[in-house]
Amino acid sequence: MLTIRNLKKKYGQQEVLKGVELQVGIGEILGFVGANGAGKTTTLHCITGLEDQDDGEVVINNVPKSHEITYKKQFYFIPDTIHVFKNISAYDWIHFVLKLYEKVDEEKLNYFIKAFEMEKSIYKPMGTYSYGMLHKMALITAFTISPPIIIMDEPLNGLDPFAVLVFKKCLKDYVENGGTVFFSTHLLDVAEKICESIAFLKGGKIVLHESVDSLLREGNLETTFMEIQANEV
């Protein structure tokens, strides 16, 4: 379970996060939605430790962010832009990360390599990879580790239609086994099909957190999003 309490962050005089409050339950797939500049990536960076919040608390499975190593083993983060060591093969990099998480499982790793059709390219230097291949590499790593929570920023960017189908199946299996997913997206139709719940961020705060089923009874996510954008915070 991911719990965010009164999360605040400012850059200079600009207050980006103004007291974000959110809870994501075990086995939940939550889509994190907001307009450009709403603070979605800042929220993800504060959750994952890439940035320090100015105030508030983040806890995963009763482990606070201040317990750095134990906390970071509770999740795996896939950013929108994946920075890599260009001369290292994806296979060697994945093994390095698996060892950090103490989750080396060759059989499981090979299963996901084959699932994403990366058998021929997994031993190549990551500097030769396309944007989509880097995302496949990150997804293979995440699903092999299978941490309590997978956090993603625009996870479908760069994926071809086949890889999207594989991603959805792996996601379904992961959640059925108790995993939790928190991902930021601007693709409302994707969120509508994949997520169980949606949290809308506007003006540095969560202005709506509802199940997808409940929101769809009122229309569709695009309509809800446009109504939220039109209203004052």
pLDDT for res 226: 80
CB 146 within 8 A of CB 179: yes
CATH number, domain at 101?
Answer: 3.40.50.300
* Alpha-carbon distances of 202 from 20, 37, 225, 230, 231, rounded to whole Å: 10, 9, 10, 11, 10
CB 89 within 8 A of CB 124: yes
Number of domains in the chain: 1
Angle at 178 between CA 42 and CA 81, to 5 degrees: 30
Model confidence band, residue 129 (pLDDT cutoffs 50, 70, 90): very high
pLDDT for res 35: 83
> Tokens in use for 63?
């482990």
pLDDT exceeds cutoff 90 at 125: yes
- Higher per-residue pLDDT: 4 or 227: 4
Which residue has tokens 């695009």?
222
CB 189 within 8 A of CB 196: no
Which residues, including other chains, have CB under 8 Å from residue 221's CB and lie 6 or more apart?
33, 188, 189, 191, 192, 198, 212, 215
Least trusted range by pLDDT, from 2-11, 124-133, 219-228: 219-228
Domain containing 62: what range? 2-230
Mean pLDDT of 224-231: 77
pLDDT for res 141: 97
pLDDT exceeds cutoff 90 at 220: no
Indicate the Cα dihedral angle 123, 126, 129, 130, nearest 10°. 140
**b/e 60-72 (16+ beta carbons within 10 angstroms → b):** bbebebeeeeebb
Using one digit for the tens of pLDDT, what is the confidence trace for 63-102?
999 998 999 999 999 998 888 899 999 999 999 999 999 9
- Ranges of beta strands (E only) in the chain are 2-11, 14-24, 29-33, 55-60, 63-64, 75-78, 149-153, 180-184, 197-202, 205-211
Judge if pTM exceeds 0.75.
yes
Q: Calculate what percentage of the chain has a pLDDT beyond 70.
A: 99
- Chain-wide mean pLDDT for the chain? 91
Using one digit for the tens of pLDDT, what is the confidence trace for 177-218?
999 999 998 878 888 888 999 999 998 999 989 888 888 887
Mean pLDDT of 34-42: 87
